[in-house]
Amino acid sequence: MLLIYPPISKPCEPPIGIARLAGALYANNTGFDVIDANIEGIYWLIKNTPSLGDRWTMRATKNLDVNIASIKNGHAFKNMARYKKAVYEINRLLIVSQPGQAIKITLTDYEDKALSPVNSHDLIYAACNFEKNPFYVYFSHRLKNILEKKDYKTIGISINYLSQALCGFSIIGFLRQNYPHIRIVIGGSLITSWMGNKGLDNMFGDLVDYIITGPGEIPLLRLLGKDIKQGIKPAPLYDVFNRDPYLSPGFIIPYNTSTGCYWGRCTFCPERAEGNRYIQTDPLYAVHELSDIIDHTGPCLIHLTDNAVSPAVMKALIKNPLPAPWYGFARANKDLTDMDFCMGLKRSGCVMLKLGVESGDQSVLDMMNKGIVLEDVVGALENLKKAGIGTYVYILFGTPYESKESARKTIDFIAKNHKNIDFINCAIFNLPLNSPDARGLEIREFYKGDLSLYGDFIHPKDWGRLKVRRFIEKEFKGHPLIKPIIQRQPPFFTSNHAPFFAISQGKVC
């Protein structure tokens, strides 16, 4: 079997979904290969970008190898200005790779003004016209070379983000036309969301043979006719990835101890809207398995990809510290108001926690059923700062419960606690169409397409997207105590690279 991960997603670490599928196939004696077409395709584009003759592009071309090396050896992380220069120059080569076309490619996104990734007809068009895709020369040669050497019966394509959809279907179209005998299977978090909200049966006709939703290990093995070994699921396998190309100062291991969210009650949560169940691996088993993986792979950083790392897992980590630094998403609950608990997290290897604060107005949090108290958030931020653990705070403006006055309370909260906040992710609310928040609201089309998962709405408090966007740019980002935090945001890679700044200016490895 061949597993493919299409462009574009952040090229800083291997995909956890493919790693878990690889582990399951290996444990069940099934031959397979993996192509991370995302990182390979990005390198192919930046190495083959035509020169436009402008100074920026010429400088970016000249400095390409130096910029890539500075990210990989960690030197770029010692100075934010140096880091931004390196990242923006690398990204420049992706942007100019499609001169005069409707397609815009960056290190983290793929945008086609003519085709929408949430329109099934456009996805089919991309598949039928695969030679128009910017990555066509790369993936056609890559796939021809490997398919000439091995006779694969099944090819699986993992599509997790909208930025991967059009490229993923272009690859599907190429395979279907040139290798019609090969069975094509698609899966990934985006496919799972579409199935949960829309249903995809027969939507893509003969392009796709099978669709797998949710964790794909068992369904894939069953599809391949394997007798599934009973017991605890196999560990993810990372040896199948080429460690060298990823744009990070060392090999990052993504690992999840759970699927779904253990809280699962926020009104705006996509997990709740899609009805995804929470499944937690035994915390002690997960920690021991992760320690074994670290001993085998020697990573520079562990990325816990759980929607929220549970208190039980944190306690297991405190009792069994990892031999590598780690970071992940967490809820600002009572545990983090305990200084001893935070110091234990530090000793366990924790270098940064991402905290979904969302609002500085307690009444808004209560109506969102967020389940956190701002007083606890303040205590958590103070303790994490004292413990030497970085904080990456998520703020969400424009929810149905927020007013301009509520938004200003968020500014006041962030400003008051600015010394204890290292990074901020500020976003405008997108309404999941199947969420409780959608009830009673006048919904408008947000993305044009039959596969759209989100919608716009008439805000009940006259606090629409345009007003929110202006507020963020002028009042929030312009606040003298908040502006320096905003400026610390690593462009493109955001929270995936933030830990390297949180750990002694990038001296991780």
Range(s) of the chain covered by CATH 3.80.30.20: 252-506
- Return the pLDDT at 43: 97
Over 90: is that where the pLDDT of 355 sits? yes
265 pLDDT exceeds 90? no
Phi/psi of residue 429, nearest 5 degrees: -60, 130
pLDDT > 80? residue 276: no
Chain centre to alpha carbon of residue 327: 14
Q: How confident is the model at residue 99 (pLDDT cuts 50, 70, 90)?
A: confident
Question: Do residues 78 and 505 lie in contact, with contact meaning Cβ atoms separated by under 8 Å?
Answer: yes
51 CB neighbour count, 10 Å cutoff: 11
**The token pair that represents 509 in the structure block:** 């490895």
Q: pLDDT by residue (tens digit) across 409-441? A: 999 999 999 999 999 999 999 988 877 777 778
CB 209 within 8 A of CB 172: no
Angle among Cα 153, 157, 163 to the nearest 5 degrees reads: 160
C-alpha distances (whole Å) from 15 to each of 5, 170, 255, 267, 290 are: 8, 20, 9, 28, 16
Which amino acid, one-letter code, is at 88? Y
pTM for this prediction: 0.95
For residue 319 the two structure tokens come to 């009792």
Question: From start to end of 128-250, where are the E strands?
Answer: 154-158, 183-187, 210-211
Tokens 């490619």, residue located: 105
Enumerate the β-bridge partners of residue 146: none
Cα torsion 413, 414, 419, 424: sign: positive
Under 8 Å between Cβ of 307 and 271: yes
Contact residues for 87 (Cβ-Cβ < 8 A; gap 6+): 67, 71, 76, 107, 490, 491, 492, 493
Ordered alpha helix ranges (H), 298-373: 311-319, 339-348, 362-367
Q: Is 266 helix (H, G, I), strand (E, B) or coil?
A: coil
Confidence of residue 505 (pLDDT cuts 50, 70, 90): very low
Residue 56, φ and ψ in degrees, nearest 5: -65, -50
Q: What is the pLDDT of residue 204?
A: 85
318-336: pLDDT as tens digits = 999 999 999 999 999 999 9
Evaluate if residue 508 carries a pLDDT over 70.
no
Burial (CB < 10 A; 0-12, 13-18, 19+), residue 141, is: exposed
Task: Indicate the average pLDDT of the chain.
Answer: 93
Asked if residue 423 lies in contact with residue 489, where contact means CB atoms within 8 angstroms, the answer is yes
pLDDT for 506: 41
Between 6 and 502, where is the model more confident? 6
The CATH number of the structural domain formed by 2-48+97-223 is: 3.40.50
Residue with tokens 């929470």: 278
The region that residue 162 occupies, defined by phi over 0 for left and psi between -120 and 50 for alpha, beta otherwise, is: alpha
Q: Across-strand partners of 217?
A: none
Q: Phi/psi of residue 299, each to 5°?
A: -75, 165
Return the minimum-mean-pLDDT range out of 167-171, 266-270, 374-378, 490-494.
Answer: 266-270
Superfamily of domain 252-506: tm_1862 like domain (3.80.30.20)
Q: Which two tokens stand for residue 200?
A: 């995809």
pLDDT of residue 434: 77
Q: What is the DSSP string of 454-495?
A: EEEE--TTS--HHHHHHHIIIIITT-TTTHHHHHTSPTTTGG
Return residue ranges of the chain for CATH 3.40.50. Answer: 2-48+97-223
**Please, which pLDDT band fits residue 49 given cuts at 50, 70 and 90?**
confident
> In this structure, are residues 246 and 39 in contact, taking their beta carbons and an 8 Å threshold?
yes
Q: Please tell me the least confidently modeled range out of 163-177, 207-221, 316-330.
A: 207-221
Structure tokens at 412: 């006041």
130-144 pLDDT, tens digit per residue, is 999 999 999 999 999
Residue 296 has pLDDT above 50, yes or no: yes
Q: Which of 447, 341, 465, 504 minimizes the C-alpha distance to 116? A: 447
Please, which pLDDT band fits residue 188 given cuts at 50, 70 and 90? very high
Q: 304 pLDDT exceeds 80?
A: yes
| Dist. CA 255–CA 288, nearest whole Å | 12
CA dist 373 and 384 (Å) reads 17
Task: Specify the residue for token string 């893509």.
Answer: 204
pLDDT band at 230 (very low <50, low <70, confident <90, very high): low
* pLDDT mean over 356-363: 98
C-alpha Rg value of the chain to the nearest Å: 23
